[in-house]
Structure 1
């Protein structure tokens, strides 16, 4: 009898080897990541995709049984993050709380935010409110992880404890920590969004595509996160497979920016494109105007662009938005001694103002853009004039999901 008990504790019902345990662990944790990114994030929160009711409930059940997360709480906290990003009200901004706090204690920040009733009422609308949600998933959130713990013990014995523990910290670390933390602190940016979101890697495979965080912040409702030819979003690949079998319906993807040749004046198509792609426009301006100006300025000074502090170069891309006052003054002083750079930075600020005029109507935005393009072409700065000519031809390309 004792031998039977000890044998069970050592290997559970399966008596599996190390390789099987590792494969099992990777499968269940990746299923959890898919439940979060596909159901909680892209479907329930941002409404970028609808799943067949059976698929949606399987994903909802798995997020409950593996993490104990309540759909309405997760959705509300994430929507508030987008609405209040990088402000004092952001539930988990590294700018506010510090990178170490978000990386290692992101789950604690999430729990605090999920207890705020005002947040749930304001941002948690449209979430499931069926019988099983009201009587099981929400009031008994911790029954899910408890069930997972019991199953793991039954399958693997004492090793099930370690597997369960790693499962429970997997999403808090990779999603609440890495994506919400490092994804607002380090990485590359395709779009000059009004927050600090970055892409951690062009290959979104390990965290279900969530690595492409800057892309997501530029187009939150898009079901597809990979927006460059070299980028990979494994979550989108799963959606495409499900769609092929009639199990998913894509509702929104990021529109594609097109450039029409020989457009003499901005028109309605230009305005539509700029409203949808204002973050990409500002990124294009940095790459096409400010960066070449920096290179030319450094060349004339007899040194490489490396001689210009990287922090300054990055700040010029967003107008010094995230600099403290001391650093901002240093940036302004550096610009003041570079007349051409000062001019293109002034034009950047004016363009940003024009792009914010959409609340005043299309006519006001059209007039401002027309004036901006005319003055940019008359500036005598080749990079600026070329960008203005290109800007006039911006349009939305037909969406191909």
Structure 2
């Protein structure tokens, strides 16, 4: 029970900060916040994403390319140009590393307006940091695992961020229904979207990329949006008005 609780907590906390901080804030600036709160969110993203921390600058530039070139040959991770999900993930990782190491300079229109914290960026992207987090997860399992097969969950902990991205990028552009004609292949993959905290409302998101609420119909519930509304009311963040 302890292991499953830890796994569920890591899954949703890692995913929450990926969608809240790297996606909705770094990539789209759906809200503004003070420098102090930005640093708090930065640290929390680093801690909860852990072994698979995603550099916000690299994430933002690659994600902006995805929106601009959705499901075309210039899309960094459209599932329609790969034979399987593993090939897509491999290509996505290479593109992300190019942005991270600045070996591939993006178009000027994709640069800027993303948070940067050089110390955390270097730490979070370092092999040493990833190994330390992986060892921490492993030690937790050694202490609390009651059956050997529970250790099969460990690789998911190590690769949590890329796994989340693979599910969203593959399923969100192949399976489900559409509310809007976006001239791409984006889909809403309901009802499994809840497990991805709103990220699988891809068709809605591509239609309204700056809207903090990914759900658009009465049965489409984006679990992250109410949290953001509460933060807005508490003046922790200020949600952007979308016209």
TM-score, normalisation: structure 2:
0.83
Q: Which range is displaced more, 164-173 or 193-202?
A: 164-173
* Structure with more relative contact order (C-alpha pairs < 8 Å, separation 6 or more): 2
Contact 1:72-1:120 within 8 A present in 2 as well: no
- Cα offset, 1:144, TM superposition: 3.4
1:237 Cα deviation after fit: 2.1
In the alignment, what sits opposite 2:17? 35
Matched, 1:127 2:114: yes
Task: Go from structure 1 to structure 2 and tell me whether the alpha carbon gap of 1:36 and 1:228 turns closer, same or farther (over 3 Å shift).
Answer: same
Number of the residue aligned with 1:89: 74
- In the other structure, the counterpart of 1:171 is 161
The 1:167–1:213 alpha-carbon spacing in structure 2 relative to 1, beyond 3 Å, is: same
Gaps of 5+ in 2: none
Q: Following the alignment from structure 1 to structure 2, what is the Cα–Cα distance between the partners of residues 45 and 201?
A: 24
Give the structure 1 partner of residue 88 of structure 2. Answer: 106
In the other structure, the counterpart of 2:212 is 223
Asked whether the equivalents of residues 15 and 197 of structure 2 are also in contact (C-alpha less than 8 Å), the reply is yes
- Give the SS at the match of 1:164: helix
1:364 paired residue number? none
- Secondary structure of 1:204's partner? helix
Give the aligned partner of residue 8 of structure 1: none
User: Who is 1:188 aligned against?
Assistant: 177
Q: CA deviation at 1:162?
A: 4.2
Residue 186 of structure 2 aligns to a residue whose secondary structure is coil
Aligned residue in 2 for 1:311? none
Shift of 1:173: 2.9
Residue 137 of structure 2 corresponds to: 152
Confirm or deny: 8 A CA contact 1:35 1:60 kept in the other structure.
yes
Distance, in Å, in 2 between the alignment partners of 1:156 and 1:94 is 34
Q: Which residue of 2 aligns with 1:20?
A: 2
1:134, 1:24 → 2: CA distance? 25
Are the counterparts in 2 of residues 201 and 212 from structure 1 also a CA contact under 8 Å? yes
Cα gap change, 1:153 to 1:137, in 2 (>3 Å): closer
How many angstroms apart in 1 are the aligned matches of 2:131 and 2:109?
A: 30
Cα distance between partner residues in 2 of 1:64 and 1:24? 13
* Structure 1 counterpart SS, 2:106: helix
Q: CA deviation at 1:202?
A: 5.2
CA contact (8 A) 1:64 1:137 kept: no
Q: 1:105 to 1:227 in 2, by over 3 A?
A: same
Deviation of 1:91 (Å): 0.8
Question: Which residues of 2 match residues 282-297 of structure 1 at below 5 A?
Answer: none
Q: What do residues 268-326 of structure 1 show as CA deviations (whole Å, max 9, x unaligned)?
A: xxxxxxxxxxxxxxxxxxxxxxxxxxxxxxxxxxxxxxxxxxxxxxxxxxxxxxxxxxx
Shift in alpha-carbon separation, 1:39–1:50, aligned structure 2, 3 A: same
Structure 1 residue 245 and structure 2 residue 230: aligned? no
Distance 1:223 1:205 in 2: 16
1:214 is aligned to 203
Moved runs in structure 1, 4+ residues, more than 4 A? Answer: 158-163
Q: 1:113–1:119: 8 Å Cα contact kept in structure 2? A: no
Retained in 2: the 8 A contact 1:37–1:210? Answer: yes
Please report the RMSD computed on the Cα atoms of aligned residues, expressed in angstroms.
2.5
Q: CA deviation at 1:171?
A: 3.3
Deviation of 1:242 after TM superposition, in Å, equals 2.3
In 2, Cα distance between the equivalents of 1:200 and 1:31? 21
Q: How many angstroms apart in 1 are the aligned matches of 2:163 and 2:75? A: 18
Gaps of 5+ in 1: 1-18, 256-401
Matched residue count: 230
Indicate whether 1:62 and 2:47 are aligned.
Answer: yes
SS of aligned partner of 1:50: strand
1:318-340 deviation per Cα after TM superposition (whole angstroms, max 9, x unaligned): xxxxxxxxxxxxxxxxxxxxxxx
Q: In structure 2, do the counterparts of structure 1 residues 153 and 203 end up closer, same or farther at CA, with 3 Å as the change threshold?
A: closer
